[in-house]
Amino acid sequence: MVAPLGGRGAPHRPVLLRETIEFLAVARGGLFVDGTVGLGGHSEAILEASNETRVIGIDLDTEALLLARQRLARFGSRFRAVQANFRDIARLLADAEEKEASGILVDYFFGSQKKRLRESSLNTAKSVAHAASRSESLKGEKGANP
């Protein structure tokens, strides 16, 4: 079964994750801006690296922001999702009453790849839902093995 939200086995996992975390030196803490939060994989790794990190995750895609919020809900107020373009980082920092970011990440993920990923994820979700529904209906049939 495919893991949800970009976890192990998901159709998309963050690129160069270990290298990115090391380069940004997130263990020192601070505020980081994920300018293309997507499914939240890089943001999750940043937040896991230190209890002193915070992330503002930016994306134009409302569906991606919803998934990122779900994935990163366990970090509470340390993660803030904002629907915007990463070119508005200065305004977003001012709106959050932050003077500067400790690091900024922009992971370019091209639209056609994003569309294929979304279609693949939706198809997988539909397949899992169908299998679960079929399993439930089989439980009611005599002698059926779900």
Q: Which H or E run includes 127?
A: helix 111-139
Entry pTM: 0.69
CB proximity list for 41: less than 8 A, separation 6 or greater: 6, 12, 13, 14, 17
Please check whether residue 40 is in contact with residue 19, taking contact to mean a CB–CB distance below 8 angstroms.
no
Model confidence over 13-23: pLDDT tens digits? 677 889 999 99
Class of domain 13-109: alpha beta
Q: What are phi and psi of 100, to 5 degrees?
A: -160, 165
Model confidence over 63-109: pLDDT tens digits? 999 999 999 999 999 999 999 999 999 999 999 999 999 999 998 76
